[in-house]
Structure 1
C-alpha cells in the first residue's frame, strides 16, 4: 500500500465473544486502536494542499484526488486532528478547509 506507516501497525489483536441471533457464540478478532499521545498538527512544509469541503464530498474521493489512494483517508484524518471521519465531510463541515498531507511524510 502507498504511503507511510499505517495507523494500526502496532495495534493489539483482541478477541471478543459474541452471541448470534440463534444463540450460538463465536469469537470475533479485531484490532484495538493503539493508545497514543494526542495528535499534533501537520508540521509546516508537510502539507501538500488544502481542500475546502463542498456538498457531496466524501473523504475517500477527496483523498483519491490528492493522494491517488482512496484508502489513505486516515492520513487526512490524522493531519486534521480528528478521529471521527464523519467530522470531515457531509453537510455540517461544508466550508471546512482540510489540510492534505504530503504522502509518506
Structure 2
C-alpha cells in the first residue's frame, strides 16, 4: 500500500464495518519512536527560512524523509522544528532508517 520508504510502510491495515455493511479499510495508528534512542547522524542549526524538507535533502539526501528528523526530535508537527521560534536551535538528524515491514 505504501512505498518502503514511507513512515507508514510497516503499519497494519484494518477494516471498519459501517452500520450499513460497508467495509472501510484504514491504516492503524503510528506511534512516534523515542527520539533520543535513534542513532544520531548530525545536529543542524536551524536558520531563518529553513524548512525540514530542505534539511532532510541536505543531510539525508532525500527531502521526503523529513519525517525521520521529526522522529529523532519527538515532533509530531514538522513546523515546530523550523518555525521562527526555532531559529538558532539544533535539530537532531538520525542515521537513515528503513521501516521494517
Deviations 1:45-80 (A, max 9, x none): x11100011101010010000000000000000010
TM superposition score normalised by structure 2: 0.69
CA contact (8 A) 1:8 1:31 kept: no
SS in 2 for 1:88: helix
> Given the alignment, which residue of 34, 38, 55 partners 1:40?
34
Q: C-alpha root-mean-square deviation of aligned residues, in Å?
A: 2.8
Which residues of structure 1 form unaligned runs of 5+? 16-28
Q: Shift in Å at residue 86 of structure 1?
A: 0.8
SS in 1 for 2:36: coil
Which residues of structure 2 form unaligned runs of 5+? 17-23
Higher helix share: 2
CA contact (8 A) 2:46 2:87 kept: yes
TM superposition score normalised by structure 1: 0.67
**Matched positions, count:** 87
Moved over 6 A (4+): none
The equivalent residue for 1:62 is 55
